[in-house]
Amino acid sequence: MTSALGQTFPSVEGTNNIDIKSKMEYDTLSRLVIQKVAYGTSIEARTDTLYDAASNVTEVRSPRYFDSGDSNGSIDAKNKNTLITFDARNRRKLTTDRISAATAFAYTALSQLASLTDAENQTTSYTYDSRGLKLTETYPDHTSGTSVGQTGYGIVTFVYDNSGRVLRKQDQLGDTVTYNYDLVGRMTSRNYRTAANSPSGTIADTDTFTFDRSGRMLSAVSGRYTNTVAYTFDPAGRKASEALTISSVTYTIGQAYNARNELTTVTYPDSSTSTRSYHSTGALNVLALDGSTISTRSYDAGRRQTTEVLGNGITETRSYRSDNLLSGISYSNTSLGDLSYTWDANKNKTSESITGVMSGYGFTSGGTTYDFEDRLTGYARASGTFNQSWNLTSVGDWTSVTTNGIAQNRTHGPTHELLTAGGSSVVTDVKGNMTSIPATLRPAGATTALLLSWDFDNKLASADIDANGTADVSFQYDALGRRVARTGTGGSFVFVQMDQQTIADYPVGGAASTPTYRYVYASYIDEPVVRKGAGAGGTLVYFHRNQQYSITAVTTSTGSIAERYAYTAYGQPTVLDASGVVLPTSNFSIRTSYTGREWDATLALHHFRARWVSGLTGRFLSRDPITYRGGINLYEYVSSNPLWYVDPYGHLEKPPIPAPSPGVVGGVCRVVTRRVMLPVTVLVLSYKCGTKVAEYTTIPIAVIVTEWVCSDPKPNPGPNPSPDPPSQPPVNPPQPPRDPNARCWCCDLQTYPSDGSPGGTKNCRPERAAECWAGYPFSMCCHPSTPATPAINPCAEDPRFPFEDKDKWVEDFNR
């Protein structure tokens, strides 16, 4: 199509049997207004976007929303309105949701967020120094007059160095963490001190990090848990290996890639391998383990998975509605039980039907059991033997939950921490971590509270399952915050990680050559395809999953059903044998469970990486580490819509849609290939006035860099104060912040000469950076005024160059 400025906007088309076309249309300010996915096919999906005068997105018309005609809000398909009010300086002042719950924002004179007040009038406030750096954050549970470490103290403080980097953070308990940096700003260590030794006394624990000259992390050492993670990289800068050293044993995972930077081979610590191949669109095609094919996948024109043929002979077929929602999953082995789904106008799941012996575990939520904010309020199994309903506050706390006609009332504190359940007290520490879960929130038969202890970083450190004062289960984490070991009742394991996936299990201290289990994953981070026991002849099981990636069954290498699983709305599991008879626990030691996350049967909790969830409490046990970027309620699980959303990292809910580029986990990911101009100093000989002169000068050298870029599709709920210090440095060097609204040139990558010189068919157009990013790897964002040399200051990497002057922008383009 052609815009008002005369630019042509090409579609992106596949070249193999999966032909995908996307079409984008822009207004005169180069803002994306219409986007069509699977353009020209029977499953074409159109999204319309409207803006206000300041280019804020005000309305989105898509399969989930439609144009309201209201310039300060959006109306959903049930005709319910969300309103956003801006002040005179275009700052979000008030957000009123579809149940009329309002969140208010106040600002300093420099437009920093001064306070955030939720719909229950609970306020979190922030202060800043003269440089605009956050000094304090005060939570609603703070009691005036209390001192650090006392009950009721709710202030976190920050201290900075002269470069504006966080030097020290003190939590509500008085514990501190001090950050140390090298000359280029990389975090090289962090020191933890208890309140008694803060801020400069004896160090309790230290984590250290090393980097290569390119800024890539080489090692991360946890002093608290005594383990080390080490990385190597191939000549293209891609991670080649990741090694965990724990209990004096090193477990190394190797990774190899194809020319398109797609992960093709994983080498396990025992030297066995799994391989993966792709369609030309980047969609996963074939998975193999130990040389044998375990999965082959096919897709339709919209890149939706339609079939998967497993190595044990079972074929899974998926069908979709016209709006791209999954309508059914069927199996060639019909005894597995086919699944079918219904949805309401707002795309909330209203039923899951199952054929065969599991039919009673299907459910319905009904068309009226979501409130106007799309929060689940009712759930009933098809058997009629289990039903639940919830009364929710405006911010998602349960005032009561009724199960099979029996109500349990609950109360909550100022930061929405759980105080009582069924008349029993729930204990939370001053940092917001649940330390005592009463028997009323534990599985049937429990007579005592579950006591939990937490480390400096609010990670679950140990659990006392019978409240006798002795820890029964303990956990260890690496310096990157990943859980790497479990010991005690219920089993002791080392979890060998590849990025954020457990790729192999070992007994603690077990030799690298003898894993207990190895796992192979597909496209989504929590989508295991198989688990194989030790050795070439180890027991192989195949995983089967529903629309949310919850495991519904495992089958053997011959295709017979080994075990089945069912879940309540918030994930409390039921284990059944092949005939549908309930079992007390899994006979196959299957831990992968609800939404693909790991179930700890001893604790009756699910591990969601950053945090833990109790299906009986229906919430996280600790506050969100990313604070209000994850929502206004720091404990709420997936915005109280557990039948649709997933939260693989324990931070943000998202639809259960796999990343388009397999091998990269989490969020929405893409391969970004960009040209970088590196300054190189050279000696130049020349003649001036007849005299030979040698001078040093700097010239740009073009280098092609390819990297994975991932983001989560869920937008922030509103403004946020300056971010907290990172819990750990990134494995790859950090990039400057990206501004999705930056105006920049978007040009086709392949149109530039390999030597970096100007020229070639430019095919550039001015547009918002976000729209250009979406075109990777076929396009890139460039500096607004230099379309011929996109490598210089790309907008995609440096939002300091938003092109505010539209007239000059157009003039430059025409020139």
Q: In this predicted structure, which of 43-57, 178-192, 486-500, 773-787 has the lowest mean pLDDT?
A: 773-787
Work out the percent of the chain whose per-residue pLDDT is above 70: 74
Across the chain, mean pLDDT equals 83
Beta strands in 422-549 (DSSP E): 424-425, 427-428, 434-437, 450-454, 460-464, 473-477, 483-488, 493-498, 501-506, 517-521, 528-533, 540-545
Same domain, 332 and 466: yes
For 228, list phi and psi in degrees, rounded to 5: -135, 135
CA distance 485 to 500: 14
The predicted pLDDT at position 752 comes to: 34
Same domain, 677 and 767: yes
CA distance 683 to 698: 9
Q: State the pTM of this model.
A: 0.79
Q: Is the pLDDT of residue 69 over 90?
A: no
Q: Which amino acid is at 574?
A: T
Same domain, 580 and 476: yes
**Position 49 confidence tier, pLDDT thresholds 50, 70, 90:** confident
Query: Does residue 761 form part of some domain?
Result: yes
The predicted pLDDT at position 25 comes to: 83
**Position 61 confidence tier, pLDDT thresholds 50, 70, 90:** low
Domain stop point among 593, 625, 640: 640
Query: Does residue 2 form part of some domain?
Result: no
Q: Is the pLDDT of residue 665 over 70?
A: no
Query: Does residue 764 form part of some domain?
Result: yes
Query: Does residue 410 form part of some domain?
Result: no
pLDDT (mean) for 267-277: 98
**Position 687 confidence tier, pLDDT thresholds 50, 70, 90:** low
DSSP characters over 35-61: EEESTTSTT-EEEEEEE-TT--EEEEE
Same domain, 702 and 805: yes
pLDDT (mean) for 581-599: 97
Same domain, 608 and 699: no
CATH at 250: 2.180.10.10
Same domain, 703 and 594: no
For 359, list phi and psi in degrees, rounded to 5: -60, -35
Q: Specify which residues 676 forms β-bridges with.
A: 703
The predicted pLDDT at position 705 comes to: 42
Same domain, 716 and 754: yes
Query: Does residue 751 form part of some domain?
Result: yes
Same domain, 362 and 497: yes
The predicted pLDDT at position 691 comes to: 56
Same domain, 678 and 590: no
Q: Is the pLDDT of residue 461 over 90?
A: yes
Q: Specify which residues 620 forms β-bridges with.
A: 613
Same domain, 630 and 672: no
Domain count for the chain, please give it: 2
Query: Does residue 184 form part of some domain?
Result: no
Q: What is the pLDDT of residues 307-324, one digit of tens each?
A: 999 999 999 999 999 888
CA neighbor of 189 nearest in space, from 171, 177, 174: 177
Q: What is the pLDDT of residues 97-121, one digit of tens each?
A: 999 999 999 999 999 999 999 999 9
Query: Does residue 214 form part of some domain?
Result: no
Same domain, 683 and 784: yes
Q: What is the pLDDT of residues 372-396, one digit of tens each?
A: 999 999 999 999 999 999 999 999 9
Domain limits at 294?
Answer: 238-382+438-640
Query: Does residue 506 form part of some domain?
Result: yes
Same domain, 492 and 584: yes
